[in-house]
Amino acid sequence: MEKRIYNEETIKNIGKEISISGWVDTIRSHGKILFIDLRDKSGILQVVVSPQQEDVYDFAKEIRPEWVVAISGVVKERPERMQNPNLATGKIELEAQKIEVFSNAETLPFTIDSDGYEINEEKRLKYRYLDLRRGRLKKNLIARQEVLYFIRSFLKKEGFIEIETPILTKSTPEGARDFLVPSRLQPENFYALPQSPQQYKQLLMVAGLEKYFQIARCFRDEDQRADRQAEFTQLDLEMSFVEREDVMEITERLLINISRTIFPTKKIQEIPFPRLNYKEAMEKYNIDRPDIRKDKKDPDLLAFCWVVDFPFFEKNNEGKWTFTHNPFSAPKPEFMEDLLEKKNIKNILTTQYDIILNGFEIGGGSIRNHRPEALESVFEVMDYRKSEIKEKFGHMLEAFKYGAPPHGGIAWGLDRFLSLNLNEPNIREVIAFPKTGDSRDLMMNAPSLVTEQQLKDLHIKIQVRKK
């Protein structure tokens, strides 16, 4: 097979013989001439099959949409009246001299030449590998890559180190239910998948690495919610020797630069981003993630804002104190004494800061407790016994005894940020292989049953519920 080039490169090869490969998008007949629109990841190229090439012509008449083929021929400039200004390759076409079929394709279960919103989503997710042939989704995934590449380049220039943290970790209370993974080698013990890299990134600060970031996979076993995913992606970062303003400044600057570079048609409503404290937001908007857009009909308007000065604690359904955001947050400095003495609990404000975009919380962070006695006080306020604190968080308290710098950070929900910038109705449209609202993977048919032997190896016995 001749060396293959992408469709977008053919414009540089007028008059040359080349070979292209891809999927048959459409086949049209005009008189005796066949036109094949061939699609690859770079776009579409029109192929002309003339009856003068008798063997190729007869072969081409058998080809159907979505067949995977290679076509060799000569690149020719189209007649001016036949050019298509809507295609990057619209000024040229390929005169076919040879066609090779790699694989046939049955009729697809749905059309892929539309945006796909009108198609039943469960069917789209079942055949996601076909749904991803859709131009809109390909564009979304390319935009996702561009954003991730920009973030990595930006943070590297700012002195951050990208570090991967473990996926198999310890189950600790962080606000949502953990996904548990049984250990075969340590019977009756379990790992947990990380809800976030929170503890590891703080331990990296203790390690003296000072500026860390990660494009992190996170896992939360939450109840069914329409626009949440059991696994999702965060930009996670942490910095040593910083105050709240330092973390907010670099976050704001990164968001502005992404918008200007990757999404230039978007307009940021106000720079610097306006700030509201929690009390103001609730009094004015009755919500702690307000949509402050001046024109909510403008799809290209980005209204960022910060919400700060949250209560540290709130009462749960059992009447006990729990954290509002993160148990590892530090209180505002003027409330540190109250925390250590465990008094004035309802009035303690945390250093938490949330970044809001068009009424959605896209990220949140805080300055952390780096003193072991302060972190221990947080859990005592929440009515944890000393033994529980040591069992669940002893590794953090131990680490802080060996010289922990003041530190803070933030995590963004990248899926949400992308969906808002791409004007998508939900985060599933910017994830390659998302799950349903109740965390099912319809394409892989997961979760699924496992064998008795697998359960036996893990020392697990399934108890069937009585109906």
The number of folded domains in the chain is 2
CATH of the domain at 317: 3.30.930.10
Nearest in space to 442 (alpha carbons), one of 428, 460, 422: 428
Are 79 and 168 found together in one domain?
no
pTM for the predicted model, two decimal places: 0.94
Are 150 and 256 found together in one domain?
yes
**Rounded-to-5 percentages of helix, strand, coil across the chain:** 30, 25, 45
Instruction: Extract the runs of DSSP E, i.e. beta strands, from 117-189.
Output: 161-162, 180-182
In a domain, 88, yes or no: yes
Q: For 49-82, what is each residue's pLDDT tens digit? A: 999 989 999 999 999 999 999 999 999 999 989 9
Are 136 and 222 found together in one domain?
yes
Q: For 109-131, what is each residue's pLDDT tens digit? A: 999 999 999 999 999 999 999 99
**pLDDT < 70 stretches in the chain:** 1, 174-175, 467
Are 93 and 14 found together in one domain?
yes
Say if residue 189 is exposed, middle or buried (CB neighbours under 10 Å; 0-12, 13-18, 19+): exposed
Locate 364 and state its tokens: 């949140």
Of 103, 123, 152, the last residue of a domain is 103
Locate 205 and state its tokens: 């600060």
In a domain, 177, yes or no: yes
CA atoms of 459 and 242, how far apart (whole Å) = 47
The neighbour count for residue 57, using CB atoms within 10 Å, is: 17
Locate 316 and state its tokens: 């749960």
Are 291 and 417 found together in one domain?
yes
Q: Which domain holds residue 76?
A: 7-103
Distances (CA, A) of 111 to 62, 116, 394, 429: 21, 8, 55, 17
**Residue matched to tokens 């991803």:** 132
CATH of the domain at 34: 2.40.50.140
